[in-house]
Structure 1
């Protein structure tokens, strides 16, 4: 049975071997159907994604051809013996059938929920393991080889936000487990990649303080303070300022959530 990868390039995987749809519009259609798997994706919504506000007069015919080509690709490569059983035509649109383990976005969401629950229950080891597994599923940005239209752009933003939340929770669990030294390289990268995310900055400050690198922690605070002031005209959040006060008093930084 085929599985679908969307947390990176759009791929269909069979027996560990990835397959990609050569034509961009086909990947776009497959991504739309996969992200809303087991739901009817309205024809008008697909047309809007493919052509935005300027669809051709025969848009429905072209769309039907694209869906047909997706089915044939599934059959031709032996990914699914009967493509029409996997991608169904409905009155209002099309529906992709997929089980809980057939889509990486399904598995990613399940692992995040498991990690969040473990975090809430104080099981930091399980939280860190579940969230790290979720993050390891990514192989680039979501839908990396698709130029998204107006609908898929929203999905990409939502998936990226889930990824950031998972990173924050994973690091929170790691700090609770005393892994502050191991987390420093990842945190250095995250504050560069997400310069305005105060959560990552706070976690870096906390990790540096716990490593007895107080001067570096104070430098990290000053960097954030100057960045926010110069670029946004803002001051660090009360939580970050409290971390700063603890460092100045030579105390051990507490967790941001405490």
Structure 2
């Protein structure tokens, strides 16, 4: 199972795209994947999902999204891939190999390309420019976070 966060949020299992549900549900999944293997408090998910003003039912809605995501992932045989959405006290944790998430792969490549650039290898400079250019429009903070600009 692979997760794509650069661009539309997607999950691919055994070569097939998994239907992740409605937009806010996909957003909750994306927030969980950005903090894979870490406890994300339910209150934090509420703040991220409704930054201006959360409805009274916000915690219940988050719980429903998590429950539906868990069902979707289980139907896609997530456990076989080492992926699980776990309830843990005041929050949730997405258990997942970070290398299954495209943004983490991208960050690793940026770090590698930055190292090549610092060593002044010609391919490193062109690789860095290519990597930064691929996401600059949709994720402008990533090249800065990688120390490439």
**Common fold: TM-score over 0.5:** yes
- Give the distance between the partners of 1:15 and 1:130, measured in 2 at CA: 31
Q: Which residue does the alignment assign to 2:65?
A: 66
Q: Which residue does the alignment assign to 1:123?
A: 121
Q: Which residue does the alignment assign to 1:112?
A: 110
Instruction: From 136, 142, 146, give the equivalent of 1:162.
Output: 142
Decide which structure has the larger Cα Rg and report it.
Answer: 1
TM-score norm. by structure 2 comes to 0.81
SS in 1 for 2:141: helix
Q: CA RMSD in A?
A: 2.9
Question: When you count strand as a share of all residues, which structure comes out higher?
Answer: 2
- Give the distance between the partners of 2:10 and 2:3, measured in 1 at CA: 6
Change (3 A) 1:122 1:12: same
- Give the distance between the partners of 2:129 and 2:17, measured in 1 at CA: 24
Q: Which residue does the alignment assign to 2:55?
A: 56
Change (3 A) 1:92 1:39: same
Change (3 A) 1:54 1:165: closer
Offset, 1:52: 2.8
Offset, 1:44: 0.9
- Give the distance between the partners of 1:79 and 1:34, measured in 2 at CA: 17
SS in 1 for 2:98: coil
Offset, 1:40: 1.3
Question: Which 5+ residue runs of structure 1 have no aligned equivalent?
Answer: 143-158, 170-258
TM-score norm. by structure 1 comes to 0.49
Q: Please give the per-residue CA displacement for 1:35-61, whole angstroms capped at 9, x wherever unaligned.
A: 111221111111112223432333222
- Give the distance between the partners of 2:4 and 2:134, measured in 1 at CA: 9
SS in 1 for 2:109: helix
Q: Please give the per-residue CA displacement for 1:162-183, whole angstroms capped at 9, x wherever unaligned.
A: 25898x87xxxxxxxxxxxxxx
SS in 1 for 2:96: coil
Structure with greater contact order relative to length (CA < 8 Å, sep ≥ 6): 2
Question: When you count helix as a share of all residues, which structure comes out higher?
Answer: 1
Work out whether residues 86 and 94 of structure 2, in 8 Å CA contact, stay in contact via their aligned partners in 1.
Answer: yes
- Give the distance between the partners of 2:86 and 2:2, measured in 1 at CA: 17
How many residue pairs get matched? 147
